[in-house]
Amino acid sequence: MINTKFVINFLILIFFSFSTIAQRGITGDEVFSHRFPGNVESISNSTLLISNETDHDIIALIRGQENEYLRHVYIRTEENWVFENMPITRFYVQFKAKEFYFEDLKRTVVNFGEKHSFYFYYDPQQEEDYKKITEEEFFKW
């Protein structure tokens, strides 16, 4: 005979185990909004498409030419996100990928009405494109 108390406890344990697993965000979530100031936007009609071409989710962070925070977003693997009305500035991109933080070494100038694209992939043979940064550098503002 099956012990009913055991079965109920087992089912409760299973239920709570599934509910405590970390949930993946969805593309477009601003998962660190509590750690950054508000987003910087302008009526520039300029866009930036970021494509995550890695096999894991990332958090992309856009910084201006003076290292100031502009925006950030969670992007699932093999998905894209478009930042609209980008400020007219020179910017660069930082990433949180798995437990590592990276900074793209290229700087891009945004002018009125321009459309830019950035494809994030990580290939160890292409390490000259990125530099590893610390968590503190990623979250500074």
Domains of the chain: 33-139 (2.60.40.10)
Name the residue with tokens 């009305």.
Answer: 85
Per-residue pLDDT of 18-65, as tens digits, reads 554 557 889 999 999 999 999 998 888 999 999 999 899 999 999 999
Report residue 125's pLDDT band, with 50, 70 and 90 as the boundaries: low
Tell me the HSE value of 115 on the side-chain side, using a 13 A CA sphere. 3
Share of the chain above pLDDT 90, in %: 57
Do 69 and 32 contact (CB within 8 A), yes or no? Answer: no
pTM for the structure as a whole? 0.78
